[in-house]
Structure 1
Amino acid sequence: MSTRSGNITAAVILILLTGVQAQHSVTLSSQSLCAVTGSAVKISCKYTTANSSRVREREWYQLQSSDGEERVLSKDPQYSARVSVRTEQNDCDLTVWDVRLRDSGVYNFRFRTSSSDWISASSGVNLTVTELQVDVDRETAGQRKVKLTCSSTCSFGNNLFYYWFRNGQYTASHEASVVLDSTHSSDEGSYSCRVSDSWHRSPAVCISANSNQKSCWSVTYSPKAICALIGSSVDIRSYYTFPDNQVTKSVWFIKEQAGAEPVDVREDEEYQGRVQYGQSFQNDCSMRITHLRERDAQTYRFRFYTDGGEYTGEPGVTLSVTDLKVTVSDTDSGGKKLSCNSTCTLPNYHTYIWYKNGQPVSDQSLNSTGLYLYVSAVGADRYSCAVAYEKLRSPAVYSPRNTSVVIIPSGEKVEGDSVTLSCISDANPPVLIYSWFNQRAAADAPLTTGQNYTITNISSQHSGLYYCTAHNQLGQQSSTPTRLNVLLADYTAVKYAAFGVTVVLLLIFITICLCMRRRAAASSSRSEEDSRNVTFTEYASVPVYDQVSDLAMTSDPTKTAASDDRDEVQYSSIQFTRSHAQEVPLYSTVHRSGALKQEEEVEYSTVKLSKPRAVQ
């Protein structure tokens, strides 16, 4: 019984899921497309959801026939800036610009909702990319009259126009075939063609009576001027023609010195690891530069070498590198129109994405026509734009914020001074108008306009609260009121006088302290000097005599010389020691008053007379 009920429940769930799945669908307009290199391909697409279920995720992907691997276009750098998807209502049209040979494959669209897994078309669209070529009619080959035909493996409709180029310059013919006179100088040269929905030209064919003539050498740049975003990648292309020779080398370069070969861009330190050469078809040499910088804005030229000579294409391709910027304008309804702009014209196949406070603007609230975004009011929100797949976002625009008042100079203000009030605000676009007000109890009084408000010869009546208001195209903001205090002149004079007296008294006190300190230091220095003049070493129980006659001695130890014969006598290290043996006392021209005890011995050393006298 339980097994039967379980089977019934599973069957009911399966039926419900099948019903939901059946209501989800993707419809593609065709099963196969053919395009020539450089053209734009559009794949029409519609999808439906069950019960208006909310779509969580959607994407286009390519299934390579060679390896069977899926490549999500929005995540593949090979499709960077070349893919756009229509997102209005249930549309999912895919447009691929500037298709290349490697773009060939099967393309499909899928989405999933909160209640379903991925839903896709039963089979995708098989895209085949081919090249144009110029065919020489075999019946006219080698003849005076030569017929050339622009063709490809794709079958073109009757609504296409053909464009012929001689030596890189456009000629007037719009037909698929042209007839030329190979012997006429006006018809000699290299010929290539393109169709109206592609910028790529076919490889050139040389028409000349002498295949080595210079008229068959050429380099054509398409386009000659390119605008790209900082941080993005850019492809610079050249088409070259030459007589029947073998190409041995080709280079892109910026600088060329007289008498020296040009430096390959790939070998320049500024471009290390950022330059790649590619060849989409015969006689094509494209160069890709990644992670563009402002200093990459240069003129690039192409040179190729053959076993019959070399040729440089002039004047080259001019590359401009820019960033995105949002500009603001008013609408008739009172709202704001935001435009995503750049300093140069970007290719028209770019898809623009708008952001509000750092988050992509949802489809429900988006009222945009690519370059523009319409909003009723900005308020405190921040808006920016970016180019799809490049992830390069413009600086955000917003109304004024962090508005404040700064008083210059700072500190107390006294009657008669001058003061400047400066209004500071962060805004993008920049502030257009600054307005000043004096806050009062009854009503705020408007003062003036301008970022700075200066008051000369201020008085106490100027004391009060001041604030400013900053206005830009998106809104306005007022600062917090700032108080200006103006002091009376009399009060300031008394305050400065009191301060001056205090400073004088402090200086007198410091001077007295310094004098007392110097006297104490001088007294201490003299005491130390006196104590170093004579040093006595005292042993235990040894009498010390601290008075020694400094009179000059005669030959008789008991007599002294006259006062006028007195010389300077210096003594040092006088030491008395006790001796147990009875010895005769030793005297050295020194008189010691009083008798010496027998047990004492007196020893003198280093006695110097400045002027020794002869014995009389």
Structure 2
Amino acid sequence: MIYRKICNMRNQQDKSVKRLVHISRANVVTEMGAGKTPNFWALTLLILPGVLGGQWAVWYPEKPVCAVRGSTVIIKCTYDYPEGNVQEEMWCLNHMYCTGTEYVCHSENRSIAPQFKDRAQCLSDKQKNCTLKVKNITDTDAGEYRFRFISDKDRWTGQDGVTLIITELRVLMNSSSGNGTIREGDSVNLTCATKGCSLSQSEFIWVKDKERLQETHSTLHFNRVLCRNKGNYSCTFKGGGDQSEEFQLNIQVPSCPPDPEASNSSLIFIIVGTLLAVLVVVLVVLIYFKR
């Protein structure tokens, strides 16, 4: 997952004088005290690896994170700071600074919002990992999530945050025939996905015609699709959540040959039924002659 670095100075009275060195691919911006002129060698020294020893920063997922109702979502997050020891870590929802509000989770379990009680967990260790886990997702969980931490030296909130979108799963098809008719022998992929954002889950449940398949990846691959592969497909997360609507895979053939497995099942059913009928007849005859 791609992360972006967020080093925006917060509008709080945590520090009276600050210096921020932000380095991007295209430019270097320096903020210094009034009346001072940037010195090239001083700037060079500042950007040497290891000299700063860390900056106040939070790394969130770059793209919005999607979650399906009833599922569990994990939002990856890391952070950094120049010195000191972290004492508290917390996440908030739809609040710019994560102060004076109820929390999604708190390392000291303080002021937890009722809607997140027993559902959200800070998977942090006060060692620059700030991953958040929320289970049994509901529509009210959508919004902007921000992380804040407090050390014995200062405190910091990653203000850009990460967006959580509540969405639905869909089965999407991609085939070698494009959007045309699917024929036997075509290459077909069915993917369990959402539109416009990334999923944190990696294991899925696939269902075809109400029967569970063995595949657990997000995509079903048919290198050469066969007539027996046609049917209604749906998917969901292995950890739970709403199931997608069924997707009907149609394959253009005059008629499908009998499925060997289905034929064997029918044959077994006929044999067992015949044996039971014979057994019933024998029992009736024995009872009749014993009278």
TM-score, normalisation: structure 2: 0.54
List aligned pairs for 1:44-443, cutoff 5 A: 184-185=42-43, 187-188=45-46, 207-208=51-52, 216-256=55-95, 261-266=100-105, 267-279=112-124, 282-327=127-172, 330-333=180-183, 338-347=190-199, 350-361=202-213, 370-371=219-220, 374=225, 376=227, 381-390=231-240, 393-397=243-247
Q: What are the residue-to-residue correspondences of 1:386-535 with 2, within 5 Å?
A: 386-390=236-240, 393-397=243-247
Counting only pairs closer than 5 Å after superposition, residues 563-602 of structure 1 correspond to structure 2 as none
Q: Which amino acid aligns with 2:79?
A: Y
> Does the C-alpha gap of structure 1 residues 330 and 355 become closer, same or farther in structure 2, counting only changes over 3 Å?
farther
CA gap of 1:332–1:187, structure 2 versus 1, over 3 A, is farther
8 A Cα contact 2:190 2:219, kept in partner: no
Matches of 1:309 and 1:281 in 2, distance apart? 14
Deviation at 1:318, TM superposition (A): 1.4
Q: CA deviation at 1:264?
A: 1.3
Seen in structure 2, the aligned counterparts of structure 1 residues 257 and 284 have a Cα distance that, compared at 3 Å, is closer
Query: Residue 273 of structure 1 aligns to a residue in which SS?
Result: coil
Deviation at 1:260, TM superposition (A): 5.7
Distance 1:398 1:254, change over 3 A: same
Q: Partners in 2 of 1:257 and 1:314 — Cα distance? A: 6
2: CA distance between counterparts of 1:313 and 1:376? 53
Q: CA deviation at 1:282?
A: 1.7
Q: Which residue of 1 aligns with 2:289?
A: none
- 8 A Cα contact 1:167 1:217, kept in partner: no
Taking structure 1 as reference, are residues 184 and 258 closer, same or farther at Cα in structure 2, changes over 3 Å only?
closer
Q: Which moved more, 1:282-291 or 1:257-266?
A: 257-266
Greater Rg over alpha carbons, structure:
1
Closer, same or farther in 2 for the Cα pair 1:189/1:249, shift >3 Å? farther
For structure 1, the 5+ residue unaligned runs are 1-37, 39-165, 173-182, 192-204, 400-472, 476-616
Larger proportion of strand: 1
Tell me the CA shift for residue 314 of structure 1. 2.3
Cα pair distance change 1:372/1:169, threshold 3 Å: farther
What stretches of structure 2 of length at least 5 have no aligned partner? Answer: 2-19, 27-40, 106-111, 174-178, 253-291
Structure 2 CA distance for partners of 1:280 and 1:237, relative to 1, 3 Å: farther
Structure 2 residue identity aligned to 1:252 = W
Query: How many angstroms apart in 2 are the aligned matches of 1:225 and 1:259?
Result: 20
The answer on whether the counterparts of 1:353 and 1:370 sit within 8 Å (CA) in structure 2 is no
Aligned pair in 2 of structure 1 residues 359, 474: CA closer, same or farther (>3 Å)?
same
CA distance in 1, matches of 2:218, 2:119: 34
Distance 1:372 1:391, change over 3 A: farther
1:293–1:372 distance in 2 versus 1, CA, 3 Å: farther
CA RMSD of aligned residues (A): 4.4
Change (3 A) 1:302 1:169: farther
SS in 2 for 1:292: coil
**How many Å apart are 1:356 and its aligned residue?**
2.0
The offset of 1:398, in angstroms, is: 5.1
Alpha-carbon distance in structure 2 between the residues aligned to 1:250 and 1:305:
7
Amino acid paired to 1:309: D
Q: Which amino acid aligns with 2:141?
A: D
In structure 2, distance between residues paired with 1:398 and 1:295: 32
Following TM superposition, by how much is the alpha carbon of 1:316 offset from its aligned partner in structure 2, in angstroms?
0.7
2:83 is paired with a residue whose SS is coil
Q: Tell me, what secondary structure is at the counterpart of 2:100?
A: coil
Which residue identity lines up with residue 370 of structure 1 in the other structure?
T
Specify the SS of the correspondent of 2:140: helix
Residue in structure 2 matched with residue 601 of structure 1 by the alignment: none
* Residue 263 of structure 2: aligned partner: none
TM-score, normalising length from structure 1? 0.28
- Secondary structure in structure 2 of the residue aligned to 1:184: helix
Aligned counterparts of 2:21 and 2:170: Cα–Cα separation in 1: 40
Q: Is the 8 A contact 1:304 1:311 kept in 2?
A: yes
Seen in structure 2, the aligned counterparts of structure 1 residues 331 and 385 have a Cα distance that, compared at 3 Å, is farther
Match of 1:104 in 2: none
Q: Is this contact kept in 1: 2:67–2:167, CA < 8 A?
A: yes
Amino acid at match of 1:350: S
Q: Call closer, same or farther: CA 1:256–1:222 in 2, change over 3 Å.
A: closer
